[in-house]
Chain A
Amino acid sequence: ARLLQKRSTQPVRAEVLSVKVDCAVTSRFAHTVMTSTALNKANVSQEIFFEVELPKTAFITNFSMEIDGQVYVGEVKEKETAKKQYEKAVSSGQTAGLVKASGRKMETFSVSVNIAAESNVTFVLTHEELLQRKLGQYEILTRVKPKQLVQEFQIVANIYEPQGIAYVETHATFLSNELLPLVEKTVTEKKAHIAFSPSLDQQRKCPGCDGTLIDGDFVIMYDVKRTSSLGDIQIVNGYFVHFFAPPGLSRVPTNVVFVIDRSGSMSGNKMHQTREAMVAILQDLKEDDYFAIVPFDDEIIWWKETLTKATKENVTEATEYVKGLYASGGTNINGALLKGVNMLLTDRAEKRIPERSINMILLLTDGMPNHGETDPKRIQENMASANAGNMTLFSLGFGNDVDYSFLNVLSQKNKGLARRIFEGSDATLQLKGFYEEVSSPLLSEVDLRYPDNAVDLLTSNHFSQLFNGSEIVVAGRLADNNLDNFLVEVVGQGFEDNFQVQGKSAALDWATTYPDEKYIFGDFTERLWAYLTIQQLLEKRKSGSSDEKVNATAKALDMSLRYSFVTPLTSMVVTKPETEKGPDSPLIADKLTEEERQQAERNSRYHHRQTFPSYNAPIPSSNVPVPSYNAPAPPSYFVDGD
């Protein structure tokens, strides 16, 4: 969180009195409140900025400002309605708050408000998200950039996991040897408490100077204990949630076709990083896996005609092959994918690959098909039709200009998912990391079943795969609010046998589990269910049939409004107080879609600069805290007409 004052020719600092980040995680559902109070020390009124970063997976649920005892509260409205207000405000020359993309994992929320001389303002932003388990752990990420010393600075996290906490780790990019002991961590069987609250002096970069050490990411990682093969089912207040990631399952061998774009646009760094990542990924193949390599530009070639067992010799040979890949020519994604599908289907039909194994295609491309079939919609249809549910397609979209929505829909129609690979020195690690996430399937075709008459409004309960280190989450509403147990069954296909477990779940008695705690936040299971439902409806909006898209949009909007979530369909509107400069004006907070984030990044690359609401030409000054970004944009140099 950080507070900024407006740039002006005669800057007078606003003093940040306090910055508090309070995060409560209850059964993976994180509820974070960021509070900041500032004092306008100038003898005239001035604009005070509040800028915080929140994870892009989080939904803002509330925002308020308290000025002179008066509280201005945000209201979630349908995006179109809010936009009308916003447009009206802009056309009358007023300013509005916005959410902007910020790096790979975060987005920035910023607002400004005019504060009278010697007055205080308190900003409170709340957001919620369901933490996702990746590579065996959950991560709570807090980004703090107060930019100046803060009288009261505090990060507090309380984690409540009735399933039991396996471990908790913390680290921060700004933690020096002096600050490290200030992180308090108390872990009991089902609760963890983490606190970090450096004093003014402990925040200082050096004795007597004003610079602060607090600038960066504070990260908490943890996992829960897993003992039951049925998973963990929690029933609270008429809603249930089922977390499924059973221990002790063997990995199912995979048959993977690497479909690699080596067209001209991949030349340079992208191709270099692809070669490096492929070398690393090939070493990670297990001996019982089968693999194929299909590089393509406008021509489609292949390393070997059929899938090959991942023996040491074959991997060595393949490694040499990928080292020789170079970029040139056009991009025939359609033809390459169909070749991959054909190889898997043929090898399966001719029993060259094990019967109990999972088929997958890993497409690595920077997009822009320009050879063969070039219509993205037709490529999506062709792939889904050729695949016919026989394999999973994972797409890795390389670079900032990749058409992510094309790859996302393409993968979703084929039981998989897409991931953006950001251009940067760590692209090789990103590629390898994604492969690690999806290369260890434990179960396929997983169904989580609940009695029809006991539950309704279920979130998705069928999953193509369960990967090692991930977790399946299903939530729903109980038809009978008084029900406190019901029969649960999970079936799937494992390595050697079919997986099938049954059991009864019981309602959780929070008072017994956490006797010393007051009611944490009672409706969290319902909110978790709402969050998950909205996420899935938003996905359906992209890949479903046209009827499904309309229904999903209407339902997601209705739920976003009902539960006060700022999603891509809604906006939060806060009305700023009237000032001598003008009447009330609304502030608008939106949720960005991945496409909007990408667009914003492009704009940020091309137009990396601060916009200023004032009419004076803004002047940078070393006395004024200036915005900082994750990675500074490259300088730009140009010449143009006036």
Chain B
Amino acid sequence: PHFMIELPNKDDALCFNINDKPGTIFTLVKDTKSGILVNGQIIGDKQIPADGKIYTYFWRFGIIHRNLGVKMEVSTNGISVFQDDSRLKLRWSNTTSIKGDGMDILLTKDRSLTVTLKDSVKFVILLHKVWKKHPYHRDYLGFYTLDTHLLSPSVHGLLGQFYHGIEYTVSNLRPGEVPEKPDATMHVKGRELNVTRGWQRDFRSDVKNGENVPCWFIHRNGTGLIDGEASDYIVSGLF
């Protein structure tokens, strides 16, 4: 999957890919102060394609809001919401709007799930439906955070660590391997990284084709940009 950090104040964006063995679970957001946790599990293609590359995608997210007593499991198969003692199951094949205690849910049939958790976070999970008989690909999910300003400064995770901004500069622009994608040197967190100008796709407005977002691509699973290594974010369970 590709990660994207959009920084409108800089009119710029950063992006990186993280891949691992299918089944791996990563922590995307963790804020112990507000009690929010978002973990995601990746899945691989049905078989290894002709080019030999293993592509992985998120197919299941586990979300917890401890203070509200909310637990959600969102997968390509369906959505389960647990709050206190009650449990709610939703199917991607329905359009539903639910206004709950501290939580609003808007499910758009076969497309997106928008969740607003009171005084903490608003996010959208997109469902990418793939032709069932596709030889390689399966359905997968995208996770987009829309409003995070209420999370605490200590929020972390593969996405969460960027919620309060990141300082960097880019210099030494030079031709890259591909003419349209020049390379440059990024100075970030006291390191110098070789980065490449490219695009990644944002699927919110057009879930099928997406929209290209120009970004600085950080190689090797975002090493140097993220705190530690991608493997540091691996956890054993969805919750």
Interface residues of chain A, those whose CB is within 8 Å of chain B, are 9, 263-265, 267-268, 328-330, 368, 370, 603, 605-610, 612, 615-620, 626-627, 632-642
> A639 near B97 (CB under 8 angstroms)?
no
A-B pairs with the 3 shortest C-beta distances?
A: A640-B142, A264-B99, A638-B144
Is there a chain A Cβ closer than 8 Å to B201's Cβ? yes
Chain B nearest CB from A368 CB (Å) reads 7
> A620 near B11 (CB under 8 angstroms)?
yes
> B1 near A641 (CB under 8 angstroms)?
yes
Q: A432 vs B5: C-alpha distance in the bound complex, in angstroms?
A: 38
> B201 near A642 (CB under 8 angstroms)?
yes
> B97 near A370 (CB under 8 angstroms)?
yes
- Chain A residues with CB under 8 Å of B9's CB are 632, 635
A268-B119, A634-B147, A634-B149 known; A642-B55 Cβ under 8 A: yes
Is there a chain A Cβ closer than 8 Å to B136's Cβ? no
Contacts A616-B180, A627-B11, A634-B148 supplied; 8 other A-B pairs, CB < 8 Å:
A264-B99, A617-B180, A634-B8, A639-B58, A640-B203, A641-B1, A641-B2, A642-B2
- Chain B residues with CB under 8 Å of A608's CB are 6, 8
> A619 near B203 (CB under 8 angstroms)?
no
Q: A306 vs B65: C-alpha distance in the bound complex, in angstroms?
A: 43
Is there a chain A Cβ closer than 8 Å to B219's Cβ? no
> A607 near B4 (CB under 8 angstroms)?
no
- Chain B residues with CB under 8 Å of A626's CB are 11
The residue of chain B having its C-beta at the shortest distance from the C-beta of A629 within the complex is: B8
> B11 near A636 (CB under 8 angstroms)?
no
The residue of chain A having its C-beta at the shortest distance from the C-beta of B55 within the complex is: A642
Q: A640 vs B102: C-alpha distance in the bound complex, in angstroms?
A: 27
- Chain A residues with CB under 8 Å of B4's CB are 636-640
Q: Which of B85-93, B158-166, B185-193, B223-231 contacts A (4 or more CB under 8 A)?
A: B158-166
Give the number of residues in B that approach A within 8 Å (Cβ atoms): 60
Residue from A328, A610, A637 in contact with B11 in the complex, judged by beta carbons closer than 8 Å: A610
Residue from A609, A637, A641 in contact with B145 in the complex, judged by beta carbons closer than 8 Å: A637
Q: A4 vs B115: C-alpha distance in the bound complex, in angstroms?
A: 39
Chain A nearest CB from B48 CB (Å) reads 16
> A640 near B1 (CB under 8 angstroms)?
yes
The residue of chain A having its C-beta at the shortest distance from the C-beta of B10 within the complex is: A620
- Chain A residues with CB under 8 Å of B180's CB are 615-617
10 contacts between A and B (CB under 8 A): A606-B204, A616-B180, A620-B12, A627-B11, A633-B8, A637-B145, A639-B158, A640-B4, A640-B202, A640-B210
A268-B119, A620-B12 known; A635-B201 Cβ under 8 A: no
- Chain B residues with CB under 8 Å of A640's CB are 1-2, 4, 58, 126, 128, 142-144, 201-203, 210
- Chain B residues with CB under 8 Å of A612's CB are 214
Q: A616 vs B198: C-alpha distance in the bound complex, in angstroms?
A: 9
- Chain A residues with CB under 8 Å of B100's CB are 264
Chain B nearest CB from A95 CB (Å) reads 16
- Chain A residues with CB under 8 Å of B101's CB are 264, 328
- Chain B residues with CB under 8 Å of A603's CB are 205
Is there a chain A Cβ closer than 8 Å to B146's Cβ? yes
- Chain B residues with CB under 8 Å of A637's CB are 3-6, 144-145, 148, 159, 162-163
Chain A nearest CB from B158 CB (Å) reads 7
- Chain A residues with CB under 8 Å of B202's CB are 607, 638, 640
> A639 near B104 (CB under 8 angstroms)?
no
Chain B nearest CB from A606 CB (Å) reads 5
- Chain B residues with CB under 8 Å of A633's CB are 8
- Chain A residues with CB under 8 Å of B10's CB are 620
Chain A nearest CB from B196 CB (Å) reads 9
Chain A nearest CB from B223 CB (Å) reads 17
Instruction: Annotate B161-202 by CB proximity to A: 1 below 8 A, 0 otherwise.
Output: 011010000000100000011100000000000000111111
A268-B118, A627-B11 known; A639-B214 Cβ under 8 A: no
> B8 near A639 (CB under 8 angstroms)?
no
Instruction: Annotate B70-106 by CB proximity to A: 1 below 8 A, 0 otherwise.
Output: 0000000000000000000000000001011110100
Is there a chain A Cβ closer than 8 Å to B213's Cβ? yes
> A617 near B6 (CB under 8 angstroms)?
no
A9-B173, A370-B97 known; A639-B28 Cβ under 8 A: yes
